[in-house]
Amino acid sequence: MHFPDLGEFRFVDALLQNGAPLKAESPATRTWLGVGDDAAIFDGWVATKDLSVENSHFRLDWSTPEQAVEKHIVSNVSDISSMGAVPKIALLGLCLNKNWSLETRDRVRVALSEGFAKRGITLIGGDTVTGTEGVFSTTLLGTLAGEKPLVRFAVQPGDTLYVNGTLGKSGAGLWLLMNHPEDKDKFPSLVEYHLNPKIAEGAGAELARLGACGACMDISDGLSSELNHLALASGVDLKIDENLLPIDPEVARMCAHYGVSPMEFALNGGEEYQLLFTNSLSSSIFQNENCCIGKVYRIGSAVGRADQAQVRMLCKDGEERPVKPRAWSHL
């Protein structure tokens, strides 16, 4: 039996060639968790869904097709990682911009195929359409690396707050592209991180293996918002120290060049996709850099139970001030 030689069939067939094979592996732990975290869990499968829309999440006058695709995949993988899980299976919804050239379509196809395959993620289905803007939509399934997931509501009084990786890079790169595109080559690492973030994708799974079963979430909307999510979900007050925030050196250099505040990017810059997490284990487990987690920085602690949980920051001038959530909103 032969299907008609239609463009969509050829495109999908080429996309699925050389993909990661589907393995007959069921989750070891049959956990259930409803809506409200970075991912849900049903019968042991950790599930998330993220979309990337052209001219909202990516622009092809800024990004290459490969960068746009990689950023989309990372945004999904980071949600799975933050639950202490490993990505396994994906369903892909793809809207190709009808004005894209054949070359751009082919580059998107190859980037998607290779991007999932190199991570061992099996594409098992989806849909392909065309429209006025490009859209990548992935439903990603993973399995827990440990017996329990890392969840937002697990903060305990006395827990230490950590982030892995430096802060502010993506927000600073976006600011540069929007305000001083002529200078993007002066700070290439910031622009590159915004367009194509590189993270420790196995960090959450490694935390689970180490027994660091505290709270965890990825920094997608900005540190200020994620801290408030943790505080509210767990019913605890959190306190961070301005002197401990690991502002990326290139962010500091860019801010000094333009006379803007690096703290704005560190607290409110989104699309970092690194992990904010807590645990009560000795910080000595992070003294030697773990290649699966990357560099870990202590930024504060959980200070006690509270009905009206809040986040405060000990500032460099010695004053304590509230940290208000300033998440990006599409609506």
C-alpha closest to that of 96 among 78, 115, 111: 111
Q: What are the b/e assignments for 295-317, b being 16+ CB within 10 Å?
A: ebbebbbbeeebeebbbbbbeee
Enter the DSSP assignment of 246.
Answer: -
- pLDDT-based confidence at residue 3 (cuts at 50, 70, 90): low
Checking if the pLDDT of 5 tops 60, the result is no
Residue with tokens 């495109």: 11
Task: Calculate what percentage of the chain has a pLDDT beyond 90.
Answer: 86
C-alpha closest to that of 219 among 272, 160, 152, 266: 272
Output the six-digit token pair for 212: 């660091």
The pLDDT of residue 4 is 56
C-alpha closest to that of 124 among 90, 76, 77, 73: 90
Question: For residues 112 and 280, which has the higher predicted lDDT (pLDDT)?
Answer: 112
Task: Report the alpha-carbon distance of residue 174 to residue 188 in Å, rounded.
Answer: 12
The pLDDT of residue 121 is 98
CB 100 within 8 A of CB 131: no
Q: What is the CA radius of gyration of the chain?
A: 20
Q: What is the pLDDT of residues 277-329, one digit of tens each?
A: 998 666 667 777 788 999 999 999 999 998 889 999 999 999 999 999 986 66
Q: What is the pLDDT of residues 203-241, one digit of tens each?
A: 999 999 988 778 999 999 999 999 999 999 999 999 999
